[in-house]
Structure 1
Amino acid sequence: MFTIVKIIVSAVIIGAITEIARRNPNHGGIIAALPIVSMLSIVWLYIQGEHKATLSKFAFSVAWGIPSTVVMLVIIGIALRHSIHFIVSIGLGLAGWVIFLFAQDIIVKHLVNQQ
């Protein structure tokens, strides 16, 4: 039953954000950029009894993914602005996300190994 509640609450929030974005893309974008999914996930994990260490690790992992997510969104925005087909724009953004995430991991590991 709890899984159904999570799905319904999450779907309502996503639906509301989509409607706001449809009417006002600037406000919708700002709201979508809020850490709604991250916060919902942390709340659901907490309610389900996860340990604070797990919640902490999750929060830091989300933060680790932010730079590559920004790269993905910028690539998608630029591609769409240049009239590149929607699916291709999404594909380019996802490719940029994967490449940046791997590059970020390699760079950080390299920096850590030099110390």
Structure 2
Amino acid sequence: MKSFAKIFAWIYGILSITSAVLQYNDPDPLLWIVIYAIAALVSFGVALNRVSYLLPLIFGVLGVLGAIYVYPETFEGFEIGKGDIKNIEEGREAFGLIIMSVAMFFFAWYRKRNL
């Protein structure tokens, strides 16, 4: 489990950096670049055993709260052209935060278990 968690942390960190880079054409790029960059830093910190379980736990909770905040009034899926672009964008953002939160909760559990 220890090696799986470390490998997952490295992979998730790289994916988070990739996500940050791809935000350049987003309507609010700076916010999402910062969010994904923080997720990457926390992931690398977990991989290197440099963070306690509290840091990913806090970011997991913040991610859930953020997802609730940005979740659209009407969820219309993720595909552009299949509904209102604002709802689609908000749905994508909310689910991105949920994915991040799940990873952060896993990292928090892993770090708490391996202190």
Give the structure-1-normalised TM-score: 0.30
Structure number with higher helix proportion: 1
Determine which structure has greater relative contact order: mean sequence separation of CA pairs < 8 Å that are 6+ residues apart, divided by chain length: 2
Answer with 1 or 2: which has the greater Rg: 1
